[in-house]
Structure formats: C-alpha cells, structure tokens
Amino acid sequence: MSEIRPQYQLEKKIDWVFFDLDNTLWDFDKNAEKALHELYRKHKLHLNTTYRVEQFVQLYKDVNASYWKRYELGEIDKDKLRTGRFIDTFVLMGIEPALQPTNIWNEYLEICPQMTDLMPGALECLSKLSQVFKIGVLTNGFENTQNVKIIKSGINKYIQFLQTSESVKLAKPNEEFFRLALFENGVNRTNCVYIGDNLNTDVWGGINSGITTFHYLYDVNNIEHITHPLFGGTVTDLVDWANWLIANQAKYESN
Ligand SMILES: [Mg+2]
C-alpha cells in the first residue's frame, strides 16, 4: 500500500488532537460484520435460509445502505431504519415472518459497540500522541454507544474529551459542533488539529470551522485532492502521522 505523507507544515504549537471515532479509530465496518456473524450463529439462521453467513452479511450491507439513503432523504425515521434493514434482509433471504428473529435489531445495537477492533495503528498512534498532546474524540453518535466502544476497545485511557452529537444536540458538519468542542476545552482553533474519514462531515466540517483538518483514508484508491489552506493532507497510516505531528511539535518547541 502506498503511503501519502501530509505535506502540510504546521506553523504553530498544537495543544489538542481531535479524532473522529467510527472508521477513524474504531473499525466500524469490521466490528459490524463481526456482530452480524454472531447474530447469524445465535439465531441459527442457517436452519431457515439457504444464505450462508457471508451472503447474509453482504445482503444486509446492501439493504442497510439503501435504508440510510432513505433516512438521509427524510423518507423514514430512525426506528424504521433500525428495524426495516433487518426485516427486508430476512424477506430477501426467504425467511418466513413467523421465523424471523423479532428483537435482532436491538441485539445488534447492543452487541456491535462491544466489539473491539480498531483501525490499523490506532492504538500506537494514540499512545504516542497522548504523550505530547491532549486527545479528544468528536463523533456523530449516541453518548452511551460511543462510550461503550471507547471503553471496550481500551482507548479510553488516552482520551480526555468526548463530544457526541447526542450530548450537544448538534452534529458534524455543523460548525457549531466543532466550535463548542474548542470552547469546552479553552482551545483556539489554530492550536488543534482534527482527523476523520468522512469527506463531508469530517474534512469539510473541520475546515469550515477553521481547524486544520486531515483526511484519514484507509482505502488509498479514493484520494480526494483538496487545495484549501486548512486541509492538512491525506493520512493513510496513523502511526506515520503521529510521528509527523510529534516531529513538527519538536521543531516548533526548539525554535
Ligand atoms: Mg467516521
């Protein structure tokens, strides 16, 4: 895998490093897949369908994606999203209504956050950065759910601040969401950096809030070339990025 180093030069001392959580530190995709595997086994779905577990996971992902589109268009509410994506998947798998597990959507929401897979290098990145900077997590999600992810995956010891969209009733990319996080910690927007995987909510949200923002990209085939002065760069290796930030800080402090 090619490695793209951030070209940005930080001409300032950094106090805080803020992270997105899902698919930046916590491997949402992998953990969701594990939770679905567990539920397939638990409910012995193989007894009522010809779909193997891998096929079930793929089908669920497709159905889930179309449900999210409808949710974002305002066509359905959150409850419909949560239940419909499973019910539709079961129908497509040929499972009769009477044989469909009825509480599986709640079980999924219970099990998924307890999974512990992190993005490659996330733990080492946090361990290194936490020796030099204060670490915060800014995430669109439920307070309890995101807390469970952070605690179960063992990254809580590195994190001094967590802000969820639920707790502040604002969501990324709303600039107020970012400004509130800075205000809460008494940090100026020029003395922090932010990193996230989503181009809209994270990258443009951060940039539009006046924060130097990095795009975390595990899949290097999707690189976006952004020329905004507050775009820090594309990060494909979290440890490499941590080393770069620390070296940048050392250079600043020796001047
Ligand atoms: Mg994310």
pTM of the full predicted structure?
A: 0.90
**6-57: per-residue pLDDT in tens?**
667 787 889 999 999 999 999 999 999 999 999 999 999 999 999 999 999 9
Distance 20 CA to ligand 1 centre (A): 6
Q: Per the residue annotation, which of 20, 22, 27, 237 is the catalytic one?
A: 20
d(CA 76, CA 53): 28
Distance 218 CA to ligand 1 centre (A): 11
d(CA 109, CA 62): 18
* Range with lowest mean pLDDT among 64-73, 122-131, 162-171: 64-73
Distance 158 CA to ligand 1 centre (A): 18
29-114, which class in CATH? mainly alpha
pLDDT greater at residue 248 or residue 20 = 20
Distance 202 CA to ligand 1 centre (A): 8
Distance 147 CA to ligand 1 centre (A): 15
d(CA 230, CA 210): 7
pLDDT at 6: 67
Residues with CB under 5 Å of ion ligand 1 are: 20, 22-23, 197
pLDDT at 163: 98
**61-92: per-residue pLDDT in tens?**
999 999 988 988 889 998 999 999 999 999 99
* Cβ pair 117, 34 in contact under 8 A: yes
Does the domain spanning 16-27+118-254 belong to CATH 3.40.50.2300? no
Residue 5 — pLDDT band, cuts 50, 70, 90? Answer: low
In the residue annotation, 20 being an active-site residue is answered as yes
Backbone angles phi, psi at 212, to 5 degrees: -65, 120
Average pLDDT over residues 240-248: 93
d(CA 224, CA 217): 9
> What 3-state class would DSSP assign to 209?
coil
Please, what is the angle between helix 53-72 and helix 28-42, to 10°? Answer: 120
* Cβ pair 92, 59 in contact under 8 A: yes
Residue 254 — pLDDT band, cuts 50, 70, 90? Answer: low
Torsion of CA 101, 107, 109, 113, to 10 degrees: -140
Average pLDDT over residues 160-169: 95
**178-193: per-residue pLDDT in tens?**
999 999 999 999 999 9
CA 149 to chain centre: 11
Domains of the chain: which residue ranges? 16-27+118-254, 29-114
Distance 216 CA to ligand 1 centre (A): 9
* Cβ pair 117, 152 in contact under 8 A: no
pLDDT at 1: 37
Average pLDDT over residues 214-235: 87
Average pLDDT over residues 165-186: 95
